[in-house]
């Protein structure tokens, strides 16, 4: 394992003012997004949509890595250029989602374990040839019920995935997501996230994963969506930084948050508050799916004539989040663009 090379890749992905574009929606998830804008979920539409994102000039300034789904890493743009080459030309690192999803966990009703380890070594060899230099594996937890069985099984799978990635020259993004869809309060989110992260780092250690060649993709510490009291921006920032400082070793070069269902502006404001107010030992940035793509999807609506508008919407969110990654975002910047 070449830890220096893995560290070089990870560091480039979270370079100053840059974050990660999560464009790795499975064909099922992108269907949900396309249904919302009345676009048929067929291969040419998925290609056109992702091509427009990757050809957006602002990629160069704000996007250090792009997470792809299996179909996309093999796909060519309309003019025959591999989409991976378009991403590389923008200066971003191509990456690949490798888990096969969260499945019911035997013995723990209503909890899940993420699957996908079988044959993963061989898949990494192929993905490396296709240009991937980082990967992602997501585990999910319900904060109102997380059991030790669930915590342990998911951490163990994350660690086995991360070790296999590094063995094949690929930086693992380790993504334990405590979901925000429930009625729990913010302190329950903090308590469960701390427990989950402690277990993840324990298992990464047992699996001999070199932390210098990893990126953590966690949830922020937020109130459940159905909780009556919603924590404000400063409280989210303070509680998130507190939990991360307790759990994430400083050998980790970067932490790139998922947006998890936050509004576009909340996801930006929270990230900004953390970078503006705290002294941090790692790069703290974004790895957003929905919070980067909701606006361009709406502007595009499946119509070629809306490409420029969709690219402008994506560029705006990428720029806002790039500023948040250095603590320089201000709400007025959103209003100016509106
Ligand atoms: P969201 O930012 O939409 O949560 O997506 C990030 C992601 O990659 C989820 O696995």
103-114 pLDDT, tens digit each: 999 999 999 999
Nearest-atom number in ligand 1 for the CA of 292 is: 2
Separate counts of helices (H) and strands (E) for the chain: 14, 10
User: What is the C-alpha to C-alpha distance for residues 39 and 127, in angstroms, rounded to an integer?
Assistant: 29
User: What is the C-alpha to C-alpha distance for residues 201 and 159, in angstroms, rounded to an integer?
Assistant: 8
User: Could you tell me which residues come within 8 angstroms of residue 91 by beta carbon, excluding any fewer than 6 positions away?
Assistant: 59, 60, 64
pLDDT at position 330, please? 97
194-251 pLDDT, tens digit each: 999 999 999 999 999 999 999 999 999 999 999 999 999 999 999 999 999 999 999 9
209 C-alpha vs ligand 1 centroid, how far in Å? 23
Band (337; pLDDT cuts 50, 70, 90): low
286 C-alpha vs ligand 1 centroid, how far in Å? 10
Mean per-residue pLDDT over the chain, rounded:
97
Q: Are 24 and 97 in contact (CB under 8 A)?
A: yes
pLDDT at position 269, please? 98
- 71-313-263 Cα angle (round to 5): 85
Catalytically annotated residues: 175, 217
> Which of 288, 297, 321, 324 most suits a substitution to test ligand 1, by most atoms within 8 Å of the C-beta?
288
Q: What is the CA radius of gyration of the chain?
A: 19
271 C-alpha vs ligand 1 centroid, how far in Å? 15
Q: Are 214 and 199 in contact (CB under 8 A)?
A: no
Q: Is the pLDDT of residue 338 over 70?
A: no
252-266 pLDDT, tens digit each: 999 999 999 999 999
Band (335; pLDDT cuts 50, 70, 90): confident
Q: Are 159 and 206 in contact (CB under 8 A)?
A: yes
292-320 pLDDT, tens digit each: 999 999 999 999 999 999 999 999 999 99
b/e sequence 198-230, b meaning 16+ C-beta within 10 Å: ebbbebbeebebbbbbbbbbbbbbbbbeebeee
pLDDT at position 1, please? 85
Nearest-atom number in ligand 1 for the CA of 260 is: 4
Nearest-atom number in ligand 1 for the CA of 258 is: 2
46-95 pLDDT, tens digit each: 999 999 999 999 999 999 999 999 999 999 999 999 999 999 999 999 99
User: What is the C-alpha to C-alpha distance for residues 316 and 338, in angstroms, rounded to an integer?
Assistant: 10
Residue nearest to atom 10 of ligand 1 (CA): 138
Percent of the chain with pLDDT over 90: 99
Nearest-atom number in ligand 1 for the CA of 293 is: 3
Q: Is the pLDDT of residue 165 over 70?
A: yes
Residues with CB under 6 A from ligand 1: 22, 138, 175, 258-260, 288-291
309 C-alpha vs ligand 1 centroid, how far in Å? 23
């Amino acid at each position: 394992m070449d830890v220096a090379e893995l560290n070089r890749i990870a560091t480039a992905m979270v370079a100053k003012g840059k974050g990660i574009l999560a464009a790795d929606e499975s064909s099922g998830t992108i269907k949900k997004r396309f249904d919302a804008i009345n676009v048929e979920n067929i291969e040419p539409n998925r290609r056109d949509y992702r091509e427009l994102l990757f050809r957006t000039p602002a990629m160069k300034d704000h996007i250090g890595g792009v997470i792809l789904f299996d179909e996309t890493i093999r796909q060519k743009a309309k003019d025959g250029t591999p989409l991976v080459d378009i991403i590389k030309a923008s200066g971003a690192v191509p990456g690949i989602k490798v888990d096969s999803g969260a499945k019911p966990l035997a013995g723990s009703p209503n909890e899940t374990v993420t699957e996908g380890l079988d044959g993963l070594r061989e898949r990494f060899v192929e993905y490396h040839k296709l240009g991937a230099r980082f990967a992602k594996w997501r585990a999910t937890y319900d904060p109102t019920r997380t059991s030790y069985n669930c915590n342990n099984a998911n951490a163990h799978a994350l660690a086995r995935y991360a070790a296999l990635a590094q063995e094949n020259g690929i930086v693992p993004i380790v993504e334990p997501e405590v979901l925000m869809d429930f009625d729990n309060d913010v302190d329950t989110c903090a308590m469960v996230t701390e427990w989950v992260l402690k277990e993840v780092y324990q298992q990464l250690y047992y699996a001999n994963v070199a932390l210098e060649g990893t990126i953590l993709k966690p949830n922020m510490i937020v109130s459940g969506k159905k909780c009556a009291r919603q924590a404000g921006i400063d409280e989210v920032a303070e509680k998130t930084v507190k939990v991360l400082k307790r759990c994430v070793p400083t050998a980790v070069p970067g932490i790139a948050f998922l947006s998890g269902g936050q509004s576009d502006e909340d996801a930006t404001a929270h990230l900004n508050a953390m970078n503006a107010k705290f002294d941090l030992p790692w790069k703290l940035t974004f790895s957003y799916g929905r919070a980067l793509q909701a606006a361009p999807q709406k502007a595009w609506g499946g119509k070629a004539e809306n490409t420029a508008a969709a690219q402008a919407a994506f560029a705006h969110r990428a720029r806002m989040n790039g500023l948040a990654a250095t603590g320089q975002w201000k709400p007025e910047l959103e209003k100016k663009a509106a």
